[in-house]
Amino acid sequence: MTGRAFTAIVTARLSAERRTVLYAAATAAVAGLALPREPVAPVFFSCAAAIVAALLQSPGRQAILDLCEESAPLFGRELARAKALAPCIVAAIATLAYCAPSIALRAPHALETVAIAMIAAPACALVALSASVREGAPRALYVALACTVAAGAYAIATAGASLSGELAFCALVAFVALRQYGEALARFDPV
Amino acid sequence: MPVLRMRDARFFARGAPVGPVTVDVAAGERVARAFPSARDAAITALMACGIVRAGAGSVLVEEYDPRVQGAHCKRVAGFVPHSPLAIDESEFERYVAYRAALWDVDPMRAIAHAKLLLERLDGVHEAFAYPIVGALIASPKLLVLDRPQSAYAGAILAAAGPRAVFSTHVNDDAAAAFAPARDDRTVVLQ
For residue B43, what is the domain's CATH number?
3.40.50.300
The answer to whether position B123 is within a domain reads no
For A4, nearest residue in chain B (alpha carbons): B101
Per-domain residue ranges of chain A? 3-187
Q: Which residues of A touch B139 (CB under 8 A)?
A: none
Position B21 in a domain = yes
Nearest CA of chain A to the CA of B158: how many Å?
23
B172: closest CA of chain A, how far (Å): 24
**Which residue range(s) make up the domain with B43?**
4-84+140-185
Considering its fold, how many domains does chain B have in total? 1
- ipTM attached to this prediction: 0.84
Distance CA B126, CA B85 (A): 8
**What's the CA gap between A103 and A89, in Å, rounded?**
20
Contact assignment for B72 to A12 by CB distance below 8 Å = no
Q: Do B52 and A191 touch (CB under 8 A)?
A: yes
Name every chain B residue with its beta carbon within 8 A of the beta carbon of A74.
71, 74, 102
What residue in A sits closest to B107 (Cα-Cα)? Answer: A4
Q: Determine how β-strand B4-11 pairs with β-strand B56-61.
A: antiparallel
pLDDT digits (tens), chain B, 190 positions: 789 999 999 998 777 888 789 999 988 888 999 999 999 999 999 999 989 998 889 999 998 999 888 889 999 999 999 988 888 878 888 999 999 999 999 999 999 999 999 988 888 888 899 999 999 999 999 999 999 988 898 889 988 888 999 999 998 888 888 886 554 444 444 3
Do the Cβ atoms of B102 and A63 come within 8 Å? Answer: no
Query: b vs e for A3-39, b when ≥16 Cβ sit within 10 Å of the residue's Cβ?
Result: eebbebbbebbbebbeeebeebbeebbebbeeebeeb
pTM over 0.90? The answer is no
Q: Is residue B38 part of a domain?
A: yes
Give CA–CA dist B101/A1, Å, rounded: 10
